[in-house]
Chains A and B, each alone.
Chain A
Amino acid sequence: MFDHIDPRSPTPIYAQIAARVRIAVAAGDLATGDALPSVRALAGTLRVNPATVVQAYRDLEHDGVVEMRQGSGTFIATLSPEARDHTREQEARRLVRDLLERAARLAICPAELRRALDTELGAFRS
């Protein structure tokens, strides 16, 4: 789940970690009550600053995706199917936001982007 964290990407590492967890939850790979790796273990495995992992977990906790229990670790929070759908919607919007940001950097205007989206969606369906 956490392979290919890219420190060189413009997305900060903590956001990449958090995104992986969100996607896993949205796809059903992680269920309520599942434990995430400890900060210590994940920092060691990914060879990243532990503060980064803490930030990712806090971010997730803020959005209600996980619960950080003092002394026991971090667990996926109770998510109703509605909450899960909400998370999927949030993730989809995040993907679009990323796309919009990257397009802005390449000076591609929203109209061009919309045209591209329609073309690609059409190709995707058929």
Chain B
Amino acid sequence: MFAQTLYVQWKWNRDFLAFYTVAAFVAPLLILWIALTYLGFNSARELVMVGGIVGVTTGAIAVVAGLTVAWQGYGVDDHVGHIYALSLPVTRSRALVLRAATAGIILALPALGLWLGAILATTQIDLPPMLRSYAGSLAARALLAAWLAHTGMFALRYAAGRRAKLVLATLVITVGVLGFATEAVPSAREAIVSLGNFLVSNPGPFGVVFGRWTLIDV
């Protein structure tokens, strides 16, 4: 079941994945080439800025890859009216886990492409002594971001039925209420702000996306 689902996920996503993997591989190389060779950036500050551009670009590619795979997967079932998936002898939860897990595996490809491209790119340049390359952690960050994006889009698409819509509505309302409370109730503000900081910075759950995306840093 798992192997076959993985095969099928691969088959219907391979065109997109090939594109994203190649893009993620080429991006660091291209950006560094443009910056160093074409524009002649070589100061520490300039290099860190370029590293940041690579980070943000590859981050975007990863997120888009995650969104695409989630969208595409649901779209294929939607196209045939979900009858096939519903007629197979698996519980709905198991079917969804199979889809999500196999998607997670194939999303490793763009991250892999990024990693290779980043390593290759940074070996081509002489980094000043205080700077180093964060190719590995950038790739890891990209993978996590792709998974997060996939999960979000996946949940949105598959949120069938009243229960799922209820959960989503609750989340939206909670965020809204918290946002309002931050403005209206000064004493609660500090608590809410620190909660928000926890969520969006390392090691909070969204830290991966809102943290610092960069290839080259101190």
Task: Note whether A and B contact each other (Cβ less than 8 A).
Answer: no
